Structure 1
């Protein structure tokens, strides 16, 4: 397919008033000039002087379990991480989640706002098995791969405390998922070494990435960072680990913070986090100085089950990629 996109403003142009044309062949920009004569078989789109941007990146989503376009559901759960998880488990069968239709609806909404690449955490647990992974793959195929979805098989309800989840994660990894996930190894599984050892063993065996959600603050969170760093080196997973949220980084003592960030940067750890109300400010400059790439993700959920609106803002620092994605949707409350 040949496409000529005319009369658009290039986002990197020094003069924002100037417009240019893009010749796009087989999905790739092959030429850009102030005025391009369209080939005979080309489709022509008039950009009307609007700004042309690369596709947005959503660095942290849960596209398998959105409540977009669903009836309102009142919250009666405890307002905590575990309360949200339990409430979600209680309601998902009633709402037919996961389903291909739900996921397609979310992906179409994201595409409408310019998002073309997504990393999504797909629930893997004893109740749903690998069905979420299958529905997401089907939805992406139905949309003819208009959006690229990088999948994390996500054991939100625990690994150690739910016998059989490890086998599900290994099966997912063996089928080629990009990443497997983990959640709060201390507070969720009450066995940090056990959870992390199992996750790193699977990731090493199948050469997939790890995306570990950490909500624990203070000394406990700092302890989890050190355990993760130990296993990155022991299993040779440098550059293969992302920490999501990671609130404790802002509470690490100043005497240890810079050396910890140096270790994280040398291990190639990526970071994606929100900026919750009341939290200490992240040491952004120190992170940048130590090549810790950061994805900022604003997930503005009300108290679990109330006005659940998600807005994503992703900015990768210390790299050439700078992307934002802003869209609002009703979504299942999730850590």
Structure 2
């Protein structure tokens, strides 16, 4: 489904698009007619439980697997008619590292330069620049087998960038990394997108999609269960509310009388008001307080997080009665 710009509703140019994408393995239907529209220069995340079809989408769009049906375009090329042109413009980092542990980091980079048919001098220059960019210069002459998980993952992405791809598929790029290495990878991805690169990301970490993705698709049983920004998806799940705190007991009682469907917390002098956190609902709430001549000492918006969205949309569990709260 297309996304639109904010000036006149024109469709944003797509780096990747899929219409009616279907794939089966024998009698197992893996992708059941999904549509994707990924604007250029954005991060697009695929979420879903194991077996939802995320990796199959990446394999098809990166020409590693053939779709059964679907109109597919990557980088302006029809995937069925021009797979070589598609391959020339993309980079792929899979769940398992493509790094050769038996050779050095620099040799891994130069091997990729040779595979991209770069002239020797240019290949060495590109390799050196990328090793420096990913803070691997000091380890360039060491065997990759000595690298930490975070270093190896950085080398993996550096190798992906040797051919200067404008579209990159990252299939669970931070799985198994410690929190510091994961945050380093997030910064690298942000820098790539700032430079105009389009990233299609699959991840097991919902926080990762929340941090990075401009748009998120939740896959379940080979179909799209929902699509939107992280904030839009959070509003699909009930449990959001606004919490009002007061220091004056009289103001607290007046606000409780003026507002409908509130949950009172008498000891804390606070009220919880059901809300999706939208600007419209917040304005309405503030107008009702103004009409009652009451001003809250503190207002916080609490919304369900992507964990709650994931469980609700994929049927893994019921939505919790009390969602995790992150005040904004």
TM-score (norm. length: structure 1): 0.31
State the structure with bigger RCO (CA 8 A, min sep 6), 1 or 2: 2
TM-score (norm. length: structure 2): 0.31
- Give the number of the structure whose alpha-carbon radius of gyration is greater: 2
